Amino acid sequence: MPSAAVQKGDIFVPLRRQRSVLVIQGSSRAPARRRPEVKADDAIQEPYGLCWDTGRGGLWLSDKLASRIRFYRDGNLTEETFSLTTEFLNEPCGLDYHAHNGLLVGCYGACSSSLMPGGVYSLDSSGSWKTRTPKGFNSRVTKCVWLPNNCFAYVTTDDCVLRICSADNSVIAATSPARYEIPSPSGSLKDLHFRCVQSLLYSKTLGRLLVGDSSFGSIFSINLEDLTYSILLGRPRFSSVGELPELVAGIPQKDAWLGSIVSMFEIGSDIYWINGDLGLCFGLDQRGRVSQVSSFKQFIGDDIVPPVTVAIAQ
């Protein structure tokens, strides 16, 4: 395991089958795999989501099958500082952190029991938990993200609907349920539908919520003020089984089908996304130029990158 200190800009990617974490070093964009250390009797079962806690100065990791979240203060994953589990943390997946709002956790819920549904929860700096989904919520959540003004968004997996929750916990179904139809390039958010959302990102640079749909192979940009949308990257279409996106000089074309968009993140004013089929990380700068940032296919092998939440050291 590399012992070099984590630096600002380092990117962490969970590898579920290998039960390890991939680190793309911010200075050189060179990947290296690190296996999180835990007590011998408390092995990590399925690392799923990650996020960097600027307040505590460390890394949160959601262990889906163990139904717990873990925290590593050193960021090198050499020592687990503490782990948390409660009766409602049923298969935690997506994580997001906000300096004032705290930690946001999206839970898938136990498949074997209807009495253990999924949901969205938050953990503040004092260690208090708060249920964020409505009473009687009976769906599954893998992705969630903080929005401005103590709001947040999440996607329910059974119907692939984007739901937006305000500070008073009122929730709206912002998009239509999934259907087998190509969406329009732009329009009212209520007319938009998704099929396979694997990544959510609120871009501070753009002031937009970005949604990556791996079925349509596109990144959608959502204006939260007037509830409209447009396509930031990609051309929505249906793909064939096993189809890979076409690259020109190692770079996908902005108006072409992008394939699987398993994670998105922002560093400075640039937007990045990870293609799980190719094992490649691409970037979009402010001038609209797309570039290939890093390749980590050799670290994945036959392990297809799942819909994950990456973390960036701050």
Residue type, 120: V
Distances (CA, A) of 166 to 103, 123, 148: 16, 17, 10
Start-end of H helices in the chain? 297-300
Q: Which of 91, 101, 15, 100 is nearest to 300 (CA)?
A: 15
Q: Left (φ > 0), alpha (ψ -120 to 50) or beta: where does 254 sit? A: alpha
Note the pLDDT of residue 190: 97
| CA-based R_g, the chain, Å | 18
| Dist CA 214 CA 43 (whole Å) | 31
Q: Which helix (H) or strand (E) holds 196?
A: none
Q: b/e map of 217-235 (b: 16 or more CB within 10 Å)?
A: bbbbbbebeeebbebbbbb
Note the pLDDT of residue 308: 67
Contact predicate 125/137, CB 8 Å:
no
* Neighbour-count burial of 78, counting CB atoms closer than 10 A to its CB (0-12 exposed, 13-18 middle, 19+ buried): middle
CATH code of the region 11-312 = 2.120.10.30
Per-residue pLDDT of the chain (314 residues; tens, 9 = 90+): 333 567 777 788 887 777 878 777 765 555 555 555 554 446 788 889 999 998 888 889 999 888 889 888 876 677 778 788 777 788 999 999 999 999 999 999 876 555 677 899 999 988 889 999 988 888 899 999 999 999 999 999 999 999 999 988 899 999 999 999 999 999 999 999 999 999 999 999 999 999 999 999 999 999 999 999 999 999 999 988 888 898 999 899 999 999 999 889 998 899 999 888 887 888 999 899 998 877 666 655 555 555 567 788 87
Q: Sheet with 171-173: list strands edge to edge.
A: 141-146, 152-156, 161-165, 171-173
Contact predicate 81/71, CB 8 Å:
yes
